[in-house]
């Protein structure tokens, strides 16, 4: 049964899509079966996976509207090695349409139910707002990965996001929890970065991933070529960091499984 993880932050520009693409490819490199869901109308995860968002016959929008099943809309990312449920601007219309539909918060969860057995991980790239699309992601997910920069305003937004996650857990998805916080665009030479990082360690403890994602030009360049950094430049610091994150996640999962059976 797949572990479903929403990659979410209400603040834009923190590396959500970069994390989705590169974590998906890194998990594939460690022999995991991965489905990446692009739930952002900008379609950046789709383009960054080498799929043209302008040439889609079916997308996640059609799945949410019951116009096709998930398997029909799915595509394969050749460079990433994972399955992709793509998105484009059509998804913007889903925001309004979902409000009129029955079980509007759980449509993604219901769509995923028949295929969860086929994957080890399902990653959901959320839009940078607590929209009905993000609510669908959080209702479908087992956990949330929060990518964030070590900046002052990021800390302010983090408390709002955690409150939103807790509200959805109470009302719609009791099993939802914060899987981990991921420090992105990390520059240890900056004193603010180190100060914020220390605060995160103090408040979140083991929920903070030990792995940090550095500022890295290869991570920024790779999406324009429709591939993860692991393919674009597998020796780059960014690619190696996401491989390390995949390893850390796998170790956590094994430890949790042992604890559950002990």
CATH, residue 36: 3.40.50.300
pLDDT at 187 (0 to 100):
86
pLDDT tens column, 96-132:
899 888 889 999 999 999 999 999 999 999 999 889 9
pLDDT higher at 124 or 152: 124
Determine the distance from the C-alpha atom of residue 60 to the mean position of all C-alpha atoms in its chain, rounded to a whole number. 15
Question: Phi first, then psi: what are they for 248, rounded to 5°?
Answer: -65, -40
What is the helix, strand, coil percentage profile of the chain, to 5? 55, 15, 30
Give the whole-angstrom CA distance, residue 69 versus residue 74: 9
Mean per-residue pLDDT, 40-49: 96
Give the whole-angstrom CA distance, residue 112 versus residue 22: 22
Mean of the per-residue pLDDT values of the chain: 93
Mean per-residue pLDDT, 132-158: 89
Mean per-residue pLDDT, 204-220: 93
Number of domains in the chain: 1
Give the DSSP H/E element, type plus range, for residue 217: helix 217-221
Asked whether the predicted pLDDT for residue 259 surpasses 80, the reply is no
Alpha-carbon distance values, 134 to 1, 71, 141, 212 (Å): 22, 21, 10, 25
Q: Is the dihedral of CA 13, 219, 200, 145 positive or negative?
A: positive
Range of the domain at 220: 3-261
Mean per-residue pLDDT, 17-28: 97
Question: Predicted confidence band at 55 (pLDDT cuts at 50, 70, 90)?
Answer: very high
Asked whether the predicted pLDDT for residue 11 surpasses 90, the reply is no
Question: Predicted confidence band at 157 (pLDDT cuts at 50, 70, 90)?
Answer: confident
Mean per-residue pLDDT, 124-145: 95
């Amino acid at each position: 049964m797949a572990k479903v993880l929403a990659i979410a932050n209400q603040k834009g520009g923190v590396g959500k899509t970069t994390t989705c693409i590169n974590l998906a490819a890194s998990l594939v490199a460690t022999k995991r079966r991965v489905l990446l869901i692009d739930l952002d109308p900008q379609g950046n995860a789709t383009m960054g996976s080498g799929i043209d968002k302008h040439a889609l016959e079916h997308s996640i929008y059609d799945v949410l509207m019951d116009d096709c099943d998930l398997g029909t809309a799915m595509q394969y990312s050749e460079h990433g090695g994972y399955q992709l449920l793509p998105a484009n601007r059509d998804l913007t219309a889903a925001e309004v349409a979902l409000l009129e539909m029955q079980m509007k918060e759980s449509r993604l969860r219901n769509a995923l139910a028949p295929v969860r057995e086929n994957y080890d991980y399902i990653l959901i790239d959320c839009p940078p707002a607590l929209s009905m699309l993000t609510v669908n992601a959080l209702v479908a997910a087992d956990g949330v990965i929060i990518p964030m920069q070590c900046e002052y305003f990021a800390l302010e937004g983090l408390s709002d996001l955690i409150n939103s996650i807790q509200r959805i857990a109470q009302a719609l998805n009791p099993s939802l929890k914060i899987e981990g916080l991921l420090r992105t665009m990390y520059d240890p030479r900056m004193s603010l970065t180190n100060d914020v990082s220390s605060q995160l360690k103090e408040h979140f403890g083991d929920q903070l991933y030990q792995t940090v994602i550095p500022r890295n030009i290869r991570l920024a360049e790779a999406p324009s070529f429709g591939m993860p950094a692991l393919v674009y430049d597998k020796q780059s610091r960014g690619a190696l960091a996401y491989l390390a994150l995949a390893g850390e996640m796998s170790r956590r999962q094994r430890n949790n499984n042992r604890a559950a059976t002990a």
